[in-house]
Each structure stands twice: as structure tokens, then as C-alpha cells.
Amino acid sequence: MYKDIATPIRTQEILKKYGFSFKKSLGQNFLIDPNILRNIVSHANLTENSGAIEVGPGIGALTEHLARGAKKVVSFEIDQRLLPVLEDTLSPYDNVKVVHSDILKADVEKVIKEEMPGIEDIMVVANLPYYVTTPILMKLLNDRLPIRGFVVMMQKEVADRITAKPGTKAYGSLSIAIQYYVKADIAMVVPKTVFMPQPNVDSAVIRLIKHDEPPVKVIDEDFLFVVTRASFAQRRKTILNNLQTGLQNGKANKDKILEALEMANIEPTRRGETLSIQEFGKLADALHPTFSK
Ligand SMILES: C[S@@+](CC[C@H](N)C(=O)[O-])C[C@H]1O[C@@H](n2cnc3c(N)ncnc32)[C@H](O)[C@@H]1O
């Protein structure tokens, strides 16, 4: 059995050996608690036939736990200074591939094809860099990768918004943009003390499992997201007011919007935060003929 990378003492040793200093701009808060790492990996339900994709391995703390639980791990790391560190810390594992790349620019599908041939069950498991949590999730969802889902650590406030249900304060266009693709729930809330350096915000691990079918069928997915963004633009405003100012550069015809709201069976005085994803779907389809161009 190898010594865990993620103990405070071993992490300090590794950082010292390589003269590594944290870059705040890259969201570098490393995990230093092996129990949290085991817990994260257990929520991914990996088997010896699974693949794991990691964003930002850091010095390999989570990577080694993934390597122990999966057939193959591919980790994308943007910071070149970490490459020699990872080569050292992950040397006991022959099932890990580190790719030096910004995940936002990477062709992840190609890498999966090359590095994980024949692997049918793939999960994204990561302690995400908080400054780009949402762009990373949206990219990996929009790329329509052959993955089962995600188990990812992020800022708790973002986790709350992603997993929020209608009628709650945290519910908004981000909840819908993500829940259109996946079933989302919070797996655990994580204290600041398990990170080095400690972040200023609370953290949570969320689990996102892809739907077989989207929760609502719409004519035009992109337009659904245009409508939801417009509907939440000003939370105190009614859906009617938000759509009037948010569609067609504020020149949307009020009567046409009222017609669409009636067709979708939605009272014009309601607020966006009370609408379910199914109601947004109906509304987007009703608005589509007039407002999608
Ligand atoms: C929160 S740390 C997590 C490190 C490690 N997985 C851990 O849990 O200790 C985020 C990691 O993501 C890397 N990173 C930041 N932006 C990235 C990007 N756009 N693409 C790939 N990696 C990125 C950072 O260099 C850092 O290693």
C-alpha cells in the first residue's frame, strides 16, 4: 500500500521538494484529507471496468484514489509546473494519463476515444477550479460526451444553484441549464479545513447523472435557454415583464407574449422562479414561432 498524497505532511513535503507555490488565479486549493477523497470517489460508483476523467489533478491527491478504483484515469491539468510533480507522485499507477491542457480547449471526446477504448462507464470526477466551474460543466455537457455523469466539488453557493428546485431562492437559469441534461443533487458539504490553502467559501460535492431523455422535449434547445435566461433577468419582475425586455432586444410584442403565455397555461403575473422546467419547455415552444429569430 502506498502512502496517501493527501495528508498535510506529505503534501507539504511534495510542495517543498518542487518549490511549488499556489496560483490563486488557477483555483489551486488542494485537498489534504484522504477521507474526503475516499468519500468523493465512493459517490461516483466506479467499478474496475470504469473510466474516470479528472479536471485539474493538482499534485494527484484525488487522481490516486481514482486510479485505485477505476480501470483508466485521464486527468487534464493546465499548470505546466505540476507535470513533473504528477510524474513523480503518480508513478506507482500505470492506469493514469495526464494531459497538459486547458480543459476548456481540449477535445475531450477524442481523448476518450484514444485513451479509453472499450470502456463503457465513464464518470467525470474532480475538485474543480472554482473560477471556471460553470464554463467547465457547460462545456462537458454541451460536448455530449459518452459519460454517465459527474461527481464534482465546487463552491457551495454554485452547488445550491445547480441543484435548486422551483420556488426556492437559489433556483434560476443555471439550475435549468444543468438539470435539462442531468439529475442533480448535493452529495456532501465539505468544510474549508480539508483544503490547502483554505478557500474563503464553503464547498460541496454534487452528483450529476445524465438523463436517458431530457425532462422536456422542445423544438429548439438553444431557444429554451434564451427564454429561461430572459425570465430570470430581474428576479422581482413578472415573467411577462422579463420576457418583454429580454426578447428581441426589448422590442418584443406584448400581445404575442401574452398569447404564448396563455397557450402554455402560465399566468403572466408569475415569476420565473415558480416555473418548472416542463413549464419553461411549453413556454419556449409557444414563443418559438414569433421570437426565435
Ligand atoms: C481545486 S484544484 C484541485 C487539485 C486536486 N485535484 C486536489 O483536489 O487536490 C484545481 C486544479 O485545476 C487546475 N486547473 C485550473 N484551471 C484549469 C483548466 N482550465 N483546465 C485544466 N486544469 C485547470 C489547477 O491548476 C489545479 O490543479
Ligand 1 atom closest to residue 6's alpha carbon, by position in its atom list: 9
What percentage of the chain exceeds 70 in pLDDT? 99
Q: Which residue, by CA, sits nearest to atom 7 of ligand 1?
A: 30
- pLDDT surpassing 70 at residue 1: no
| Helix/strand/coil percentages in the chain, nearest 5 | 45, 15, 35
Q: What is the pLDDT of residues 85-138, one digit of tens each?
A: 999 999 999 999 999 999 999 999 999 999 999 999 999 999 999 999 999 999
Q: Rounded to the nearest whole angstrom, what is the distance from the C-alpha of residue 268 to the centroid of ligand 1?
A: 44
Band (285; pLDDT cuts 50, 70, 90): very high
Give the mean model confidence (pLDDT) for residues 260-289.
97
* Mean pLDDT score across all residues of the chain: 96
- The residue assigned the cell 489534504 is 32
**Domain 8-210 matches domain 221-291 at the CATH topology level:** no
- pLDDT surpassing 80 at residue 156: yes
Q: Which CATH class, in words, describes the domain spanning 221-291?
A: mainly alpha
Do the Cβ atoms of 279 and 264 come closer than 8 Å? yes
Predicted local distance difference test score (pLDDT) of residue 273: 96
* Nearest Cα residue to 230 out of 251, 215, 209: 251
| Residues in contact with 95: Cβ distance below 8 Å, sequence separation at least 6, in sequence order | 67, 70, 71, 72, 73
| Residues in contact with 213: Cβ distance below 8 Å, sequence separation at least 6, in sequence order | none
Q: Is 56 annotated as a binding residue?
A: yes
The full set of domain ranges for the chain reads: 8-210, 221-291
Provide the terminal-to-terminal Cα distance of the chain, rounded to the nearest Å: 61
How would you classify residue 47: left for phi > 0, otherwise alpha for psi between -120 and 50, otherwise beta? beta
Pocket test for ligand 1, best of 127, 128, 151, 194 (most atoms within 8 A of CB): 127
| Distance of alpha carbon 65 from alpha carbon 61, whole angstroms | 7
Q: What is the pLDDT of residues 181-230, one digit of tens each?
A: 999 999 999 999 999 999 999 999 999 999 999 999 999 999 999 999 99
- pLDDT surpassing 70 at residue 2: no
φ, ψ for residue 32 (rounded to 5)?
Answer: -125, 30
Q: Is 66 annotated as a binding residue?
A: no
Q: How far is CA 206 from CA 127, 160, 177, 183, 225, in A?
A: 10, 9, 15, 10, 22
Predicted local distance difference test score (pLDDT) of residue 66: 98
* Nearest Cα residue to 171 out of 160, 181, 180: 160
Q: Is 102 annotated as a binding residue?
A: yes
Ligand 1 atom closest to residue 23's alpha carbon, by position in its atom list: 25
Q: Rounded to the nearest whole angstrom, what is the distance from the C-alpha of residue 55 to the centroid of ligand 1?
A: 6
φ, ψ for residue 252 (rounded to 5)?
Answer: -70, 140
Q: What is the pLDDT of residues 213-224, one digit of tens each?
A: 999 999 999 999
- pLDDT surpassing 60 at residue 23: yes
Band (3; pLDDT cuts 50, 70, 90): confident
What single letter denotes the amino acid at residue 266?
A: I
Predicted local distance difference test score (pLDDT) of residue 219: 96
8-210 has which fold?
A: Rossmann fold (3.40.50)
Q: What is the pLDDT of residues 249-262, one digit of tens each?
A: 888 899 999 999 99
Q: Rounded to the nearest whole angstrom, what is the distance from the C-alpha of residue 54 to the centroid of ligand 1?
A: 9
What single letter denotes the amino acid at residue 260?
A: A
